[in-house]
């Protein structure tokens, strides 16, 4: 695609060379694709996309227009001026799932044969597997991509399937409320197995947050800051609620009131999981503070007002301190 056609398509789209600070566009054309997973792949055949009249090029420009008009609020996309065969996307983890408030990044490559063949999709896993469909090596298993089992109507259809459908499928079918059951043959297992898996998933999601905050993907730096500034208080509150057993993973509500009537099933979560939540509350609080010092500091103070040390612990510490004081006083006063 020549520069004239790119500029024509981008009439209402500003090409960003620096991250935006106050508002991040859902769809935009960027320049720097250097950290894209497929940037140097021999699968790209990028020279074939220089022909503006090719079927693949026309299909990709149609995809851009669909994405510009139809992206939901929780999905953000960047395409590239010089490499129209590449696309990057981030999906915000849906509320009510163990992925809530997390950021999940995907790199997409349009093959030479597009749209006859589906796009290639790579998940930035950071070496973690937090879903049966998202492998630690970045492999994405999805019927629509022809990388997962499925009925014929669920497979890639060159005349109907789109990148938007792929992104929506990842959001709704993969990052769902009970990902444990994404694995075939597990539907008959106990609900407690699914709940334990959700605990593991949220731990890995928290770990992913720390990695992303440390090194956000290019062209998404502004969004990462903006997102976690807005959600830091809620994420920390969720970690504390899961640590205390006052909510199941995915079920935390920020202003849910007293936890005095917490169901006993919530309080039976493993000590190991609760310990992990305590550790990640500490780690994320530090990471969020670096991301937005003043905002988070004030939010953290407000949040921590709702959690105080139990009276019996204060009593024991006070008695112990008094006892130690008198022992030391008696010891040194006799010298």
What's the whole-number mean pLDDT along residues 186-201?
85
In a domain, 313, yes or no: no
Tokens of 239: 């970690």
Are residue 48 and residue 90 in the same domain, yes or no? yes
Are residue 213 and residue 135 in the same domain, yes or no? no
The catalytic residue positions are 141
Binned at pLDDT 50, 70 and 90, residue 314 comes out as: low
In a domain, 317, yes or no: no
Residue corresponding to tokens 């014929």: 152
In a domain, 248, yes or no: yes
Binned at pLDDT 50, 70 and 90, residue 68 comes out as: very high
What's the whole-number mean pLDDT along residues 98-119?
96
Average pLDDT, the chain: 83
305 or 85, which is more confident: 85
In a domain, 62, yes or no: yes
If DSSP codes are grouped into helix, strand and coil, which group holds residue 175? coil
What's the whole-number mean pLDDT along residues 303-324?
62
Question: d(Cα 205, Cα 211) in Å, to the nearest integer?
Answer: 10
In a domain, 335, yes or no: no
SS3 letters across 251-275: CCCCCCCCCCCCCCCHHHCCHHHHH
For 133, which DSSP code?
A: T
Look at residues 150, 179, 208 and tell me which one is the last residue of a structural domain: 179
Convert the pLDDT of each residue in 204-228 to its tens digit.
Answer: 999 999 999 999 999 999 999 999 9
Look at residues 127, 155, 179 and tell me which one is the last residue of a structural domain: 179
Question: d(Cα 93, Cα 142) in Å, to the nearest integer?
Answer: 18
What's the whole-number mean pLDDT along residues 86-102?
98
Convert the pLDDT of each residue in 24-39 to its tens digit.
Answer: 999 999 999 999 999 9
Determine the pLDDT at residue 316.
67
Which region among 99-103, 145-149, 189-193, 323-327 has the lowest average model confidence (pLDDT)? 323-327
Smallest Cα–Cα separation from 254: which of 308, 302, 199? 302
In a domain, 330, yes or no: no
HSE of 257, CA atoms in CB hemisphere, 13 A: 3
Q: Give the best-scoring range by mean pLDDT among 2-6, 51-55, 126-130, 149-153.
A: 126-130
Are residue 23 and residue 162 in the same domain, yes or no? yes
Are residue 7 and residue 70 in the same domain, yes or no? yes
Residue corresponding to tokens 């992206």: 71
328 or 270, which is more confident: 270
Confidence check: pLDDT of 100 > 70: yes
Residue 132 phi, psi dihedral angles, 5° rounding: -55, -25
Are residue 120 and residue 217 in the same domain, yes or no? no
Determine the pLDDT at residue 253.
86
If DSSP codes are grouped into helix, strand and coil, which group holds residue 29? strand
What's the whole-number mean pLDDT along residues 159-187?
92
Confidence check: pLDDT of 3 > 50: no
Torsion angle of alpha carbons 263, 268, 274, 277, nearest 10°?
Answer: -50
Determine the pLDDT at residue 177.
96
Confidence check: pLDDT of 152 > 80: yes
- The alpha helices in 111-252, defined as continuous H runs, are 163-169, 191-214, 221-244
Residues contacting 159, CB < 8 A, separation 6+ = 115
Confidence check: pLDDT of 309 > 60: no
Boundaries of domain holding 201? 191-303
Are residue 288 and residue 142 in the same domain, yes or no? no
205 or 6, which is more confident: 205
- Looking only at Cα atoms, what is the longest distance across the chain? 98
DSSP H/E element including 6: helix 3-9
Confidence check: pLDDT of 259 > 50: no
> Domain count of the chain?
2
Smallest Cα–Cα separation from 95: which of 253, 215, 204, 323? 253
Binned at pLDDT 50, 70 and 90, residue 73 comes out as: very high
Confidence check: pLDDT of 292 > 70: no
In a domain, 311, yes or no: no
Domain CATH code at residue 147: 3.10.110.10
């Amino acid at each position: 695609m020549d520069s004239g056609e790119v500029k024509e398509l981008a009439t209402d789209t500003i090409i960003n060379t620096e991250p935006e600070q106050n508002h991040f566009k859902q769809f935009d054309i960027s320049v720097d694709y250097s950290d894209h997973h497929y940037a140097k792949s021999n699968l790209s055949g990028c020279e074939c996309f220089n022909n503006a009249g090719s079927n693949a090029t026309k299909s990709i420009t149609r995809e851009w227009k669909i994405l510009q008009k139809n992206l939901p609020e929780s999905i953000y996309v960047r395409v590239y001026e010089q490499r129209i065969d590449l696309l990057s996307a981030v999906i915000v983890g849906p509320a009510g799932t163990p992925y809530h408030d997390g950021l999940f990044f995907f790199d997409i490559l349009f093959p030479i044969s597009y749209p006859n063949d589906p796009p290639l999709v790579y998940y930035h896993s950071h070496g973690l597997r937090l879903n049966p469909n998202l492998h630690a090596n970045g492999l994405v298993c999805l019927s629509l991509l022809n990388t997962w089992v499925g009925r014929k109507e669920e497979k890639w259809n060159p005349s109907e399937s789109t990148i938007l459908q792929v992104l929506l499928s990842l959001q709704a079918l993969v990052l769902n409320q009970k990902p444990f059951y994404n694995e075939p043959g597990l539907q008959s297992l106990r609900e407690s197995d699914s709940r334990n898996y959700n605990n593991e998933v949220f731990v890995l999601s928290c770990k992913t947050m720390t990695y992303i905050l440390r090194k956000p993907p290019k062209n998404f730096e502004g969004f990462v800051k903006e997102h976690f500034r807005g959600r830091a208080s809620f994420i920390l509150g969720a970690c504390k609620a899961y640590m205390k057993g006052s909510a199941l993973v995915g079920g935390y509500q920020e202003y849910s009131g007293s936890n005095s009537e917490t169901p006993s099933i919530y309080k039976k979560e493993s000590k190991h999981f609760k310990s992990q939540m305590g550790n990640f509350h500490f780690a994320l609080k530090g990471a969020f503070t670096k991301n937005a010092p003043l905002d988070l500091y004030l939010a953290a103070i407000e949040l921590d007002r709702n959690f105080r040390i139990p009276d019996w612990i204060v009593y024991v510490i006070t008695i112990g301190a008094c006892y130690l004081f008198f022992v030391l006083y008696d010891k040194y006063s006799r010298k």
